[in-house]
Structure 1
Amino acid sequence: MVHSFCAGGPAFLQGGCGRRMEGRADRKGKMAAILFHIGLVAYGIGSFGHLASLVRERPGGHDFGDRALTVGFLFHGASVLLRAIDLVQGGAFRFAEGLSFVAFLTVGLYLLVGRSFRIPILGAFVAPLVVVILLPAHAFPDPSATPPPWMGWIRPLHIAMALSGLALFALGFLISTLYLLLQRELKTKRPGAMFRRLPSLAQLDRMTQQVMTAGFVLLTLTLLTGVLFPVSSAESSTLRQLTKEAMGVVAWGLTAAILVLRQILGWRGRRVALATMMGFFCLAIAFAGVFVGRPV
């Protein structure tokens, strides 16, 4: 109601309403930044707890690290919610915010998976990765930008599915890394203490399959909704646009092939782990290509 009154009122009233709306947006942005930094500090503490437990072989450190990650997840989630509201209302979505959303979703997936599979050592890989993802978002925040012309409900849905798929592949990348490290240690016949706390290769393989299946579904929906993205004829031929599209299709095709070959030929283990890691790299390149030169 206030917005319609401002839009239809005299020029001096429109100016006053605009200043009030800008003031509210500025306060909301500052609050989101404060919550983001509290979450980042908690993630850093969680990383320290997990890594200390990994080095000193004290399982209690993983519990402390998970609690710190949970606290960070809650504060970070509040920051993400404020930005998501702005996105739904038509705000521009920038690279730093994309990093923030991916990190938030990765932590949430880890906490969910950790509760189901009980792999505390995975936190020693997830927590540092999340901090590394968030540091550029903290150090190089994007300037204000005008949102692109494509709006409506499909835009936030497309972005949410794309980032969720990337977060799933990031988690799959870490699980695959654990799989390959454990496989190498088992071949030496003298695995270290860290690897004795890992689940079996079969369980890690099942986790990778579940993550890839969910990621494939989201990636498929992302590509389908991406067709609705209006791209000018000049932009469609740019190297950035072609690279983004190619990497997304390669990741989709690679994941589809692995899932099919797993069912038909019984592919397991190392091949699936390597394919998952390659899929993550392809999606990461596509994600970076989206934001080169403009927000979304």
Structure 2
Amino acid sequence: MSGTGDEINTAKKLRMMDTRIMDTRIMDTRMMDLISEDNDALLHLDDCDNNVERPLADRGNDNAINDNAINDNANNDNSDNDDEHGGFLWKFDSNIGIDYMTNVPSTLHECCRCGLRKACIDLLHDRGHNVCRDCRWKYRDDYRTLHQSRVAYDYGLNSRDLMPLFCLVKPNKNSRLQDIKLYFKFQLEEACSKKHGSLQNWISKREEKQLAKFKLLSTAYERSVKAKTPALESKQCRHIHSTKTFNDGLWTETCPDCGHNEKWQEL
């Protein structure tokens, strides 16, 4: 039973702490209202001090009234043109949204993926591509960056095709080499479609080129082997030996087609 009593006392203490925090917020809100309205009746704040001893059930109406006061105060702050809000709050505008990547206001644009007006990523918006953060994460595979060395093999694009595309420049660890250029995957696929018709067409062309190159190399290798070892030509011929001749203790057979000679000695 002692454990249950301790839990009840702890709950009462937490409830009392929440009550005091709420009263402090209400007092601060009333103070800001009176200061903004230039009202001299600051003595009415004593009611808030007496409100601490009142039960929670009796203060429900007061909380609702104070919530309305907070909303009215926020609207007054937004309508004030001279308030700079200390550089932390932004003035409300229906055409302004917040880019949560940088916490900087960004103009709303129509997303090219979902078609909704949202705050787009400034990095891509400055280059004519509007995409919101949700679609950027949903289609994150299309927004991967690829190195320039992979572009020629994967998409069949040369340096001239890459000139109109925007890229991210990353400094190379080796200062003697050029900077690393990274291209987005979606724009590489678009450029590949314009040049080759589609990505599948380029893959089929690449495979055909590789097969033709392999055949050419194999043919060249066979020619080089035949040139270096002409004896292989004679081995491929079927020798026909019709007559045998004996001379100096050796038997000799000659093929009439290729002239190949075979010599042996019989014991």
Given the two structures, how large is their TM-score scaled by the length of structure 2? 0.24
Instruction: State the structure with bigger RCO (CA 8 A, min sep 6), 1 or 2.
Output: 1
More helix per residue: 1
Structure label with greater radius of gyration: 2
Given the two structures, how large is their TM-score scaled by the length of structure 1? 0.22
